[in-house]
Amino acid sequence: MRYRTLPAAHYHNNRRKLAKHLVPGGAVIVQSNDILPTHADGTLPLYQNADLFYLTGIDQEETILILFPDSYEGKHREILFVRETNDHIKVWEGYKLTKEQAIERSGIKTVYWTHEFDRVWHGVMGEAQAVYLNTNEHSRAVVEVETREMRFAHLCKAKYPVHTYLRLAPLMHQIRISKDSHEVGAIKQACDITEAGFRRLLGFVKPGVMEYEVEAEMLHEYVRRGSRGFAYTPIVASGANACILHYTDNYRVCNDGDLLLLDCAAEYGNYYSDLTRCIPVNGKFSIRQREIYEAVLRIYRAAAQMLRVGNSLPDYEFVVGKMMEQELVGLGLLMADDLKRQDPAKPLYKRYYPHGTSHHIGLDVHDVGHRYTTFVPGMVFTVEPGIYIPEEGIGIRIENNFVITNGAPIDLMAGIPIEVDEIEALMAQQT
């Protein structure tokens, strides 16, 4: 395993937090994600179900967790199922967890092989008064492929039609929204790996390099430091491509005079970071590029300081929008008189800044968490304002990751160069 695992006590504590929210006689079941096919006999790597990983620390396919705190049998209050290995699997796939290793990793003392699940689950269903089934209820999720959990939900309801079924997702969103020190440490490790990749680029980027070459430089640095790779599909967007918010083709040549927008960050141990920087391809910002960059930087700094206990995303985004209006007026992109006449439901600044400023981050890049939940310590957010001017071929976004505390927010990417002068100085050192 290429990453340092978190202690079993962390996962035990997570299960304990969930158990406090269950109804009497309630049983929870969480399944691992599928290994998805590509074509012929090809498959994608496993990307573990974040909820299962949060509760068990198990990063392996065909894993199932049952939580049943009110079980009459003490050993069945927490049950883990893992895939049984054999000589064929050892030769073709290699390492799989033994029962003893699964116990050590998760802190769950009762472990069965996955093929024993039906028998054990039938006994649980004979006792359970309600069953919590898990589905992806992220507000931005588009789920067109049936997951392992959805297949199980259909089968379970068909076999046990008169049980009471409840939604697990809202409970998981509630307990996952605030990170403990172990989780913050894993996110910080992903941020540190990201920093190494970005610093590597500052000595590499110059006119004539391809966007995909820049992508390759970052990936090399991430993997050599223990990351699985990018936390999300990387955006390496030079010139006007930076005005395409989710540009991922990364095929264009980086030309002299262009800015290069880099929305690229590393994962570490299933935890994610999210960084955006803009750098001049030739190592020097033009007067206009600097002017726009520093406008975005002012909004970024002010927005970060609003990540305080008691605030909320809607209130926070409203204030950021007002700051953006004033910066756009200063850049000559909006007129003050037009702002007085604008439709509040369709603010004019959205023409140049169409996305939100912050989102939760953790075991998912766009991590779970209700938009209207007030900020509490342990929440981890991105801060990512931007200004995009297609007619000028300039798109600038600046993004770091912050932890909310009882005082000032902590910048997990504080060491990553962000000032114009620092970026230019570091790029000037390239050989």
359 in catalytic set: yes
364 in catalytic set: no
Q: What is the DSSP string of 119-186?
A: HHHHHHHHH-SEEEE-----TT----SPPHHHHHHHHHHHHSTTSEEEESHHHHHHHHSS--HHHHHH
* Distance from C-alpha of 299 to C-alpha of 355, rounded to nearest angstrom: 14
Catalytic residue among 62, 195, 274, 364: 274
216 in Cβ contact with 189 (< 8 Å): no
* Bridge-based pairing state of the strands 110-113 and 78-82: parallel
179 in Cβ contact with 190 (< 8 Å): no
399 in catalytic set: yes
* Distance from C-alpha of 12 to C-alpha of 261, rounded to nearest angstrom: 41
422 in catalytic set: no
Whole-Å CA distances, 25 to 5, 18, 124, 323:
32, 14, 10, 51
Question: Residue 330 is encoded by which pair of tokens?
Answer: 């200063």
Catalytic residue among 246, 288, 301, 371: 246
41 in catalytic set: yes
Residue 378 identity (one-letter amino acid): G
263 in catalytic set: yes
274 in catalytic set: yes
* Distance from C-alpha of 418 to C-alpha of 176, rounded to nearest angstrom: 30
* Distance from C-alpha of 329 to C-alpha of 91, rounded to nearest angstrom: 65
- Residue 13 C-alpha from the chain's centroid: 22
107 in Cβ contact with 12 (< 8 Å): yes
Residue 271 identity (one-letter amino acid): Y
Catalytic residue among 325, 359, 360, 367: 359
Exposure on the CB side of residue 262, measured as CA atoms within 13 A? 34
252 in Cβ contact with 268 (< 8 Å): no
Helices first, then strands: H and E counts in the chain: 13, 16
User: The tokens 């491509």 sit on which residue?
Assistant: 241
Show which residues are catalytic. Answer: 41, 246, 263, 274, 355, 359, 366, 384, 388, 397, 399
